[in-house]
Amino acid sequence: MKRVMLTISYDGTNYCGWQTQPNGITVEEIINQKLSELLNEEIIVIGASRTDSGVHSLGNVAVFDTNTKIPAEKIKFALNQRLPEDIRIEDSREVPQDFHPRKNKSRKTYEYSILNRRIPIPMLRLYSLFQYVPLDVEKMNRAASYLEGEHDFTSFCSLGGNATTTVRTVYVCTVTKEGDMITIHIEGNGFLYNMVRIIAGTLIKVGLGVYPPEHVIEILEAKDRQVAGPKAPAQGLKLVKLEYPDL
C-alpha cells in the first residue's frame, strides 16, 4: 500500500467545482472514476482545495492510497490518457502514509484576473472578470497590503465553510497591471470559504473609488461579512499552486 499525491490542473468552466455533489459533474468525481478504472480498485481521493464551480486550477493537490504496482511517477501519464482535455495531472509521486493535503502545513497561491478595458476580449472571457470602468491599481495595491499578516478574516468569509478558526496568515497580497490585465496575487497559509473572491470583490470597490484603501482595515476589524465587498465571479479566480514545506 502506498499513498500517491497528484498535482492537478483544470479548466473549471464545465465543472460544478472540485467536490463531488449530486447536482453536476465535478473534477473530484472524474478523477475518482478514471483512477478506479486505471488501477482496477475503488479509489476515493482526498483533495486539498475545494474550488467552486467555474474556478480554475494550475495546481490543486489530492492524495489516494493504492495497491498498484505502477510506479507513482508513471500514474500521471496513464491517467492523462483517460482524462478529458480540461483536466490534466501535472505531477504524481509517492508521499508518506500520514501526509494529508488539508491537514499538513501548506502555502497556497491564488490569482484573480481582471480585464480592465472598454471592450471585452472573447478569448479571455472564461479566465478573467471583465470590468470596463478604469480601476485605480495603485489604490488597490495599497488596500491589498493591509491584508498581509495574521488577521481574523471573518469579514471575508461566506457562511457555509467548516473552518474551526477564522484566523489566517496572508504572506503576500499585491495588485499589479500588465497591459489591460490586472492581477491580484495572494499567498497564505490557508483561505476561508470564498475568502479570495470576497477579497477580490472588495479590492475592486477600492479600485472603483467606492472605498478608500484604508477602509480594508475597518472591514477586518468589524469581523462582519456584511461590511466587505461582494464575492467576485468565479471565472477570474485560479488556484496557482500549493506548497507543502514539510514534504
Instruction: Return the active site residues.
Output: 52
Q: Which grid coordinates belong to 89? A: 495531472
Return d(Cα 73, Cα 93) in angstroms, integer.
5
CA angle 115, 54, 212 (to 5 degrees): 45
Helices 215-222 and 195-207: angle between axes, nearest 10 degrees: 150
80 binds a second copy (CB under 8 A): yes
Q: Which of 4, 11, 188, 213 binds a second copy (CB under 8 A)?
A: 11
For residue 62, which amino acid is it? A
Return d(Cα 140, Cα 165) in angstroms, integer.
27
Q: What's the min distance (Å) between Cβ of 129 and a second copy?
A: 13
Q: Which of residues 107-126 bind a second copy (CB under 8 A)?
A: 119-123, 125
Q: What's the min distance (Å) between Cβ of 51 and a second copy?
A: 13
Q: What's the min distance (Å) between Cβ of 234 and a second copy?
A: 13
Q: What's the min distance (Å) between Cβ of 126 and a second copy?
A: 8
34 binds a second copy (CB under 8 A): no
Q: How many residues bind a second copy (CB under 8 A)?
A: 21
- Which residues contact residue 42 at a Cβ distance below 8 angstroms, ignoring those fewer than 6 apart? 36
Return d(Cα 208, Cα 65) in angstroms, integer.
48
Backbone angles phi, psi at 4, to 5 degrees: -115, 135
Q: Which of residues 51-70 bind a second copy (CB under 8 A)?
A: 56, 58
Q: Which of 3, 33, 70, 88 binds a second copy (CB under 8 A)?
A: 88
Nearer to a second copy by Cβ, of 9 and 49: the residue is 9
Binding site for a second copy (CB under 8 A): 9-11, 56, 58, 76, 80, 85-90, 119-123, 125, 127, 238
